[in-house]
Amino acid sequence: RLHLVTWNVGTASPPPDVTSLLQLNSLGPTMDMYVIGLQEVNSRITNFLSDLAFDDPWSIFFMAVLSPLGYIKLSSVRMQGLLLLVFVKHVHLPFIRDIHTHYTRTGLYGYWGNKGGVTVRMSLYGHTVCFMNCHLPAHMENTEQRLDDFEKILEMQFEGENIPSTLDHDVLFWFGDLNFRIADYGIHFVRESINNKRYNLLWEKDQLNMAKKKEAFLQDFIEGPLQFKPTYKFDLYSDVYDTSEKKRKPAWTDRILWRVKNLCQNASKGGEFSEEQTISVTLNNYISHMSYGISDHKPVTGTFGLELKPLLLDPLVTLNPEGEWSAEHDVLINYSAVSEFPSSAWDWIGLFKVSFRHVNDYVTYAWVEDDEISSTKDSKQVYMSAAEIPDMGGEFLLGYYSNNLQSIVGVSQPFQIQPNRTLTDKDLTQDENSWMQKPDNLESRDEF
């Protein structure tokens, strides 16, 4: 289950609550992955430069919301005001590999990143999946420029060997403030159609719908029905369309589309959905969220079911704590790797709180080579000092980080660490405060 968000936040700060946006109060199964694409994140030069050194407020905000629920930030990419975040449940981490990011500038002849696209791609259970968050040129008359810019973004290439081009991924999600408008009709007809919920009268003049009928490179993209009000342009903190002097005509600028490669191949052969199909995408919900008013755009979400025939069944590394762990004594970690695993001297095993936010949010770690104490054909043991374990104890998990693959390739089940009983309650409280502050002061592991 994938929940995808696109939102032009108009340089605003995060709102107090995003429960409905992320469907956290849904009665159905929880999401496996959140993909959040934002446009016009505060991109003044001073903000942008400071955000390069530290996570921006929106990333911190979503991590604070999602990490207590068992999601970690898998990847992110930022270009000026464009931000793309991917969060995933712990259980899927060993089956997500080959994560790469890219950005393409199209604003001001490609020299400025106020328009363009940011992209994250990965192998998900052996299937290639790509997410593309775009902010295309504004204004009614710039349809051709929007299409040209999107073609340019599609042509980008990821760095690395054997990584498919954008359109060669098994599934490609395209979303963002695409800025397509409603052509021909006057503002009064558009608003009257919206007031009467006769959205279908406007679909045929939607510039993106018209372009999909003419442009070959768009025809394989699928979109759910636009059964919600156009999401642009609103007065701030209201559901009233633009009352300024400009009185912008409402438009569905904020969109989510997707493309399944093998469906395209089957269609080109005139075939139907076959038993050989190994991945399918189902749209469960495509809606706007009118209650959010921090910008002149309303956010749009798509909830998808991805049905995958797993091409990866086993993690590269299996690991677990040896015996009962306590903060009072040194501990051991058992792990084993598949024969083809490309291990490195720079691999490490991290001890994480179950609510960890991202890969560098570890409490402590052990080098798999330097801290190894025994090795057999089938398994190895690594030592971790009691001095590195939080005295307060709690619920933790272990994660094996592969330097060659630049990702966590093995995760243990959550387990309890017993607190250090020799310390006073005051000592435990001080220990808790010190390690809870640690992630913000961690030295970057990028050098590794």
Report d(CA 99, CA 90) in Å as an integer. 16
Q: Which domains does the chain have, with CATH numbers?
A: 2-308 (3.60.10.10), 317-429 (2.60.40.2840)
Gyration radius of the chain over CA positions: 24
Report d(CA 278, CA 274) in Å as an integer. 9
End-to-end CA distance of the chain: give it in Å, rounded: 33
Which residues, in sequence order, are CB contacts of 98 under 8 Å at separation 6+?
121, 122, 123, 160, 163, 405
Report whether 211 contacts 283 (CB < 8 A): no
Instruction: Give the pLDDT band (50/70/90) at residue 44.
Output: low
- Which stretch of 45-49, 87-91, 112-116, 417-421 has the lowest confidence by average pLDDT? 45-49
- Which stretch of 293-297, 351-355, 404-408, 435-439 has the lowest confidence by average pLDDT? 435-439
204: closest CA among 240, 136, 299, 189? 189
What is the structure's pLDDT at 426? 54
Report d(CA 298, CA 136) in Å as an integer. 17
Q: What is the mean pLDDT of residues 393-409?
A: 94
Compute, in degrees rounded to 10, the torsion defined by CA atoms 363, 368, 371, 373: 130
**pLDDT tens per residue across span 142-153:** 999 999 999 999
